[in-house]
Amino acid sequence: MFETQLTRALKIQYPIFQAPMAGGVSTPELVAAVSNAGGLGNLGGGYLTPEQLRSDIQEIRQQTDQPFGVNLFVPEQSEESEEAIFQMTDYLNKYRDELGTAQNPMILKSSESFEEQVQVLLEERVSIFSFTFGIPSQDMIQTIKQHGIFVIGTATTVDEAKQLEVGGVDAIVAQGSEAGGHRGTFLKDASHALIGTMAIVPQIVDHVSIPVIAAGGIMDGRGLAASLLLGADAVQMGTAFLACPESGAHETYKQKILSTNEDSTQITRAYSGKAARGIETKFMIDMHQYRGTIPAYPIQNAMTRDIRQAAAKANSPEYMSLWAGQGLRLANNQPAASIVKQTIDEASILVQRLPTIGTADNK
Ligand SMILES: Cc1cc2nc3c(=O)[nH]c(=O)nc-3n(C[C@H](O)[C@H](O)[C@H](O)COP(=O)(O)O)c2cc1C
């Protein structure tokens, strides 16, 4: 049941992707557990150095012989004036003071290079590659595909999906505004690309001829069944897996996921300079008062890194980035394999009941 063009192409049993979650959340254990359960585990490799990426891929392989995907961030060039950086450093010092960490730290340019990361995927013969935040050059996509790798892009509007299809991808993640984590928007300002999953999935399905994966607010079998009815070939679930034992999320973050409701998330640029949805924190609220310019991604991300790390060490969620989607109240801390199984079991029952929906039998 639930075999689609995409599950056949990827050689997976169920149309359930565990979302790649960079920053240590999608651990090799989580990826392998989902793939072993018949879904598609995805490693969020965006922040990993080439060496870390290779080692995580090898760790996944030790734990599963099933297909899995690796996700990277398409790099963006951002410049910021010295004044904006100086002002932000000064502003952030009050948190450093509170957390007992050094003032005016050196901001390290990230050491990961997209080309080197991609080279690792080619060398390691990863079979599925997904990306977000943009679109790699057509040459790079072709090189990756020539290595037999299935390529998946991320879109938040129909125009982005069409551009990805022209760029040569094999499938598209349609990311609705409910989604936790960073917005994949790359053609316009993220505030103009906040289309809900229910609305964006069928519109993208209508305008491209490749498989679409629905993402954003999908937490269980109801979300899976609904997405398939909207024309998706699979779902990508992030928040649903955040609190499970195999997830690498910090314990305090997991507790927040399990105790916070659907009305408690906001989209913010405060932590990274790029729009992302997370549980509202004091840091996010404070930043509304900031009168200067928030530096663009990835500069702001690098500038807040020491604060987020110190906050995690101190178990202080108000200064951590608690990325999460709007399906929060449906999250649980079951093992990843149970989440996959329950989602499939529930969707199977719903689909069998479909002929009776809207009739008196549908109780
Ligand atoms: C903690 C977290 C980290 C994420 N990191 C990534 C990432 O590295 N790459 C990516 O393509 N998407 C990332 N996402 C977005 C997911 O791919 C997906 O769009 C989202 O989780 C779907 O919404 P949901 O969280 O409501 O299930 C992340 C999401 C979360 C919650």
What is the percent of the chain where pLDDT is above 90? Answer: 92
pLDDT at 110: 67
Residue nearest to atom 29 of ligand 1 (CA): 181
Q: Give the architecture-level CATH label for domain 5-356.
A: Alpha-Beta Barrel (3.20)
From the list 73, 282, 85, the residue with the least C-alpha distance to 183 is 73
How many CB atoms are located within 10 Å of the residue 183 CB?
21
Longest distance between any two alpha carbons in the chain, whole Å: 66
Any residues with Cβ below 6 Å from ligand 1, and which? 19-22, 25, 44, 46, 71, 132, 154, 175, 178-181, 215-218, 236-240, 323-325, 327
Task: List, in sequence order, every residue forming a beta bridge with 42; answer none if it has no partner.
Answer: 69
Ligand 1 probe mutation, 182, 198, 222, most atoms within 8 A of CB: 182
How far the first Cα of the chain sits from its last, in Å, is 23
pLDDT at 30: 98
Looking from the CA of residue 131, the nearest atom of ligand 1 is: 11
Locate the domains of the chain by residue range.
5-356
Token match 């169920």: residue?
14
Instruction: Please provide residue 242's backbone torsions phi and psi, each rounded to the nearest 5 degrees.
Output: -65, -40
Whole-number Å distance, alpha carbon 78 to ligand 1 midpoint, is 22
Whole-number Å distance, alpha carbon 296 to ligand 1 midpoint, is 20
Per-residue pLDDT of 274-330, as tens digits, reads: 999 999 999 999 999 999 999 999 999 999 999 999 999 999 999 999 999 999 999
pLDDT at 104: 83
Whole-number Å distance, alpha carbon 182 to ligand 1 midpoint, is 7
Per-residue pLDDT of 40-50, as tens digits, reads: 999 999 999 99
What is the number of residues in the chain?
Answer: 363
| Distance separating alpha carbons of residues 303 and 271, to the nearest angstrom | 9
Give yes or no for residue 112 having a pLDDT over 70.
Answer: no
DSSP 207-218: H-SS-EEEESS-
DSSP 135-168: ---HHHHHHHHHTT-EEEEEESSHHHHHHHHHHT
Whole-number Å distance, alpha carbon 86 to ligand 1 midpoint, is 31
